[in-house]
Chains A and B, each alone.
Chain A
Amino acid sequence: MTDPFATLGVPARFTFAPGDLEQRHRDLSRALHPDRHVHSPPGERRMALERAVSVNDAFRALRDPLSRAQALLALHGLSVQEGDRAPAALLMEVMELREDLDAARAKPARIAALRETVAARVAAEESVVARAFDREGAPDARDLAQARDAVVKLRYFRRFQEEADAMEE
């Protein structure tokens, strides 16, 4: 797996100004998209296509905060996977949220309130990730451990959000 930050030519950080990643993706797409190489020699067409694919892949990996956080962990050899043990407190919290969601079925206002609660929790965990990766210098072991725990939580919250989406559909 290539480093998506390098592919987009952006620093390996968590926080980006709004629109920055999109801008970089657009600029690179302008240079690499097959539409821009219709009249290029065949070798350049192939290379541009390969790179356009990796740029799109990198953008997809970095556009979403959770997958960006995972990309940062991956740069440090860490990963979070399905079936990783989660702390008991988190499991309790998520279980309660799910029960509340079940009870909120067909009550849009209550679902919205739950979404807000979860959004606040997501913001809190994202700030943990940001602390680890946004400052000067490489993150230390403690930063990384905290960021990894935060990502475990973020994954659970993401699943909750998806369930809420499904319920509203």
Chain B
Amino acid sequence: MALLQIFDPKARAVPIGIDLGTTNSLVAYVVDGGVECVTDCNLSPLLPSVVYYGAHGATLVGDDARTLAALHPRETIVSVKRFMGRGADDPETRRLGPYDFVAPREGESNTVRFRVHSREVTPVEVSAEILRELKGRAEDQLRTVGGAVITVPAYFDDAQRQATKDAARLAGIEVLRLLNEPTAAALAYGLDKGRTQGTFAVYDLGGGTFDITVLSLDDGVFQVRSTGGDSQLGGDDMDRAVATVLLREMGVDDFAHASPELVRRALDAARAAKHRLTEASETTVTVARDAGEDFSRALTRAEFDAIVGPVVERTGPACKRALRDAGVKPEALDGVILVGGSTRVPLVRSFVRELFKHEPLTDIDPDQVVAFGAALQADMLAGEGPREDALILDVIPLSLGIETMGGVAEKILTRNTTIPAGRAQLFTTYADNQTGFVIHVVQGEREMAVDNRSLATFTLKGIPPMAAGLARLEVTFRVDADGMLDVTAKELTTGVEQRVEVKPSYGLEADDVERMLMESFEHAESDLAARQLRERVIEAEQVIAATQKAVGIDGDLLDEDERAELDGALAALRDAVAKGDRNAIHHRTEGLDRAATPLAERRMNRAVKRAMSGHALKEFEDELDARPTHPHLVGDGHTH
């Protein structure tokens, strides 16, 4: 009997992994236990992260846009990632490049804005174009695409992560997780190449960002031990260094007034020469002048190495610090993994070899390894596949704290703290009758707040007048598994609490993203109410399914009354879903949540107990048996 394939409207949505790179972006997925990248019609997995804005609002992304960059340098945004989460006055806007930036304006969110034709675009919107294109490619190949794991440099700060999430939202992509790029690479090596044990360094030099991560792999758990880097250091800086030499030799001294076309041509020529010098020991570089004869010169690899040497050496201190933070000597490493296109440069390889005293691992294509890891993580999060036991324990790359008296940055969560993480700290007033606290959230290692990156500022108001030092302000920092920060503040003597509306210092505000969403063509077309109802229904169906599954496994944990209440809440929600009543769905989802609390608590306790008995400690097996319950854990899930 012949089997016919029937189109199934409920076909499995394939979760995808996206590497949103400075130079190139990729999308990958897991199929039949292996990982594959989505390719274009030329079978290339790489989508150049280049967006061209046409005069009438149309955009081109990828190779076509790259081709247009030399002709339309201001309307073609290249390496937009370097501007993500950056303020309009960021030093990056003053480095060699062809763009026309919009000066920062009062009363507007502080973000980089490119002027293209008569409009302005933010890095978030440019990135959204790239993400939309990637999603489209994936849909062409997979038909139904699910949520995505999107990778970010480990050294991305909170504002840069938020910008990435905003871009995904604009592109209509559900973000399952933000995953650090070096961790993604390690996941690909660990899971795909069957390495199960050991301590590895991941050296990730991309087009615009540098990360170094030290992690250990122990029976399927990838524990990041330390991370460091520079989110504005990469192959682009090599190109700039070479282009600077070329322009000088062409007699151009004032780069700010050079034509953007010339700057773009010099950068492109530098990049192409860099690629050729990976294999060749000498090449010819040619740059067309604005008028007159082309400029041409020979460039040897030795000369190239001398020009880009300082860029490569800038990665050294972060590597040493990461090793020290992890408490690992280079000799004790089991391997060094190379990630990112810039690690193809021979000088980078010899630098890494010398620094880490290991021959670097390159058996997975350094351009694709991050996307592979993201796809594996997406597959794991979707709860399918055979890799159930793998788990990533990542860290925060930079310390998080608040500004205290005298402008000192008080660290609340220190760098390399495992996430999810949380900590509360007490502060007090330093002036009499102070009725408000200004809380300035900063990220970085420097002692003074002003030297660190400002993430947000908010004010806790409504505190009754008290003498200095009497108020008790508890500030709680939480960092979730995406590495995103959430801050709450509470005055303990009065109980004034503020769930903080953190006003970001950089990037877009929530309203901006909402507005952009409304403006974007596809959403303006659809009916808002219908969309909201659909979202609620999907959420409710997920909650129902999850709760039923939990009852099925651990129903014995409930007594009869509790079980009846839970069943009632389930039935009520199902009824609301059937009727399509948006408000009722909302309230009954909350009702089900409440009714499921006893089950949730006991299931948690059971899971913890099981986890603790899984591996008895080597030395204390007997003692542990004698203390079967641990009072602080059972029934107390609170941290602070």
A12: shortest Cβ distance to chain B, in Å? 11
Q: Which of A3-11, A78-86, A105-113 contacts B (4 or more CB under 8 A)?
A: A3-11
B95: shortest Cβ distance to chain A, in Å? 26
Q: Which residues of B lie under 8 Å from residue A169 when comparing CB positions?
A: 317, 320-321
Contact between chains at A9 and B623 (CB < 8 Å): no
Contact bitstring B154-183, A, C-beta under 8 A = 1, else 0: 000000000000000000000011000000
Most chain A beta-carbon neighbours within 10 Å: one of B550, B600, B624: B600
Contact between chains at A41 and B218 (CB < 8 Å): no
Given contacts A33-B393, A41-B593, A59-B418, whether A51 and B604 have CB atoms under 8 Å apart is yes
A81: shortest Cβ distance to chain B, in Å? 14
Dominant SS among interface residues on chain B: mixed
Contact between chains at B620 and A34 (CB < 8 Å): no
For window 79-116 of A, CB contacts with B under 8 Å fall at none
B483: shortest Cβ distance to chain A, in Å? 12
Contact between chains at B604 and A44 (CB < 8 Å): yes
Contact between chains at B481 and A56 (CB < 8 Å): no
- Name which residue of chain B comes closest to A57, CB basis: B639
Interface residue total, chain A, C-beta cutoff 8 A: 48
Given contacts A20-B617, A41-B543, A41-B600, whether A54 and B639 have CB atoms under 8 Å apart is yes
Q: Which residues of B lie under 8 Å from residue A17 when comparing CB positions?
A: 617-619
Q: Which of A22-30, A119-127, A140-148, A150-158 contacts B (4 or more CB under 8 A)?
A: A22-30
Q: Which residues of B lie under 8 Å from residue A19 when comparing CB positions?
A: 618
Cα distance, A38 to B637, chains bound together (Å): 19
Cross-chain contact of A16 among B177, B600, B619 (Cβ < 8 A): B619
Cross-chain contact of A27 among B321, B423, B611 (Cβ < 8 A): B611
Cα distance, A27 to B389, chains bound together (Å): 10
Contact between chains at A20 and B480 (CB < 8 Å): no
- Name which residue of chain A comes closest to B590, CB basis: A42
- Name which residue of chain A comes closest to B620, CB basis: A11
Q: Which residues of B lie under 8 Å from residue A163 when comparing CB positions?
A: none
B223 within 8 A of A: yes
Cα distance, A1 to B424, chains bound together (Å): 10
Contact between chains at B417 and A41 (CB < 8 Å): no
Q: Which residues of B lie under 8 Å from residue A1 when comparing CB positions?
A: 640
- Name which residue of chain A comes closest to B551, CB basis: A41
Given contacts A23-B617, A50-B639, A56-B419, whether A35 and B612 have CB atoms under 8 Å apart is no
Contact between chains at B632 and A26 (CB < 8 Å): no
Q: Which residues of A lie under 8 Å from residue B223 when comparing CB positions?
A: 22, 26
Count of chain A to chain B residue pairs whose CB atoms are closer than 8 Å in the complex: 154
B502 within 8 A of A: no
Contact between chains at B381 and A47 (CB < 8 Å): no
Dominant SS among interface residues on chain A: helix
Contact between chains at A9 and B221 (CB < 8 Å): no
B196: shortest Cβ distance to chain A, in Å? 13
B278: shortest Cβ distance to chain A, in Å? 32
Cross-chain contact of A6 among B380, B623, B633, B640 (Cβ < 8 A): B633
Q: Which residues of A lie under 8 Å from residue B542 when comparing CB positions?
A: 39
Cross-chain contact of A10 among B320, B381, B546, B617 (Cβ < 8 A): B617
For window 581-640 of B, CB contacts with A under 8 Å fall at 592-593, 596-597, 600-601, 603-604, 607-608, 610-612, 614-615, 617-620, 623-624, 627, 630-633, 636-640
For window 60-97 of B, CB contacts with A under 8 Å fall at none
B383 within 8 A of A: yes
Cα distance, A26 to B601, chains bound together (Å): 21
B505 within 8 A of A: no
Contact between chains at B381 and A38 (CB < 8 Å): yes
Cα distance, A35 to B389, chains bound together (Å): 11
A23: shortest Cβ distance to chain B, in Å? 5
Contact bitstring B353-390, A, C-beta under 8 A = 1, else 0: 00000000000000000000000000011110000010
A147: shortest Cβ distance to chain B, in Å? 20
Contact between chains at B639 and A11 (CB < 8 Å): no
B391 within 8 A of A: yes
Contact between chains at B550 and A38 (CB < 8 Å): no
Cross-chain contact of B546 among A9, A26, A41, A56 (Cβ < 8 A): A41
B324 within 8 A of A: yes
Given contacts A11-B623, A23-B617, A169-B321, whether A30 and B221 have CB atoms under 8 Å apart is yes
B326 within 8 A of A: no
Contact between chains at A44 and B420 (CB < 8 Å): no
For window 402-453 of B, CB contacts with A under 8 Å fall at 417-423
For window 153-169 of A, CB contacts with B under 8 Å fall at 165, 169
Given contacts A11-B623, A51-B608, A169-B317, whether A57 and B550 have CB atoms under 8 Å apart is no
A77 within 8 A of B: no
Given contacts A20-B619, A41-B543, A60-B417, whether A3 and B632 have CB atoms under 8 Å apart is yes
B interface residue numbers (CB < 8 A to A): 176-177, 218-219, 221, 223, 317, 320-321, 324, 380-383, 389, 391-393, 417-423, 478, 480-481, 542-543, 546-547, 549-550, 592-593, 596-597, 600-601, 603-604, 607-608, 610-612, 614-615, 617-620, 623-624, 627, 630-633, 636-640
Question: Top 9 nearest A-B pairs by Cβ distance?
Answer: A6-B632, A31-B611, A43-B600, A54-B639, A53-B422, A17-B618, A9-B612, A44-B600, A31-B607
